[in-house]
């Protein structure tokens, strides 16, 4: 799992680990989520 944003950015404002530019983009609706992985479970045993 990736490091939490704070461990990378060391920002405490406006939100813990998230820069103002990102907050503004989210508020403006300019952000989308993309999932680039799939977890596959095999049969038990």
How long is the chain?
45
Note the pTM of the prediction, 2 decimals: 0.48
What is the structure's pLDDT at 12?
A: 67
Listed in sequence order, the residues at least 6 apart from 4 whose beta carbon sits closer than 8 Å to its beta carbon are: 17
Question: pLDDT below 50 — which residues of the chain?
Answer: 1-2
Environment class of residue 1 by beta-carbon count within 10 Å: exposed (0-12), middle (13-18) or buried (19+)?
exposed
What is the structure's pLDDT at 1?
A: 45
The token pair that represents 41 in the structure block: 């479970």
CB contact at 8 A, 18 and 5: yes
What is the structure's pLDDT at 28?
A: 95
């Amino acid at each position: 799992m990736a490091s939490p944003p704070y461990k990378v950015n060391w920002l405490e404002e406006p939100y813990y680990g998230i820069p103002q530019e990102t907050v503004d983009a989210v508020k403006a609706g300019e952000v989308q989520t993309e999932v680039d992985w799939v977890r596959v479970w095999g049969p038990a045993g």
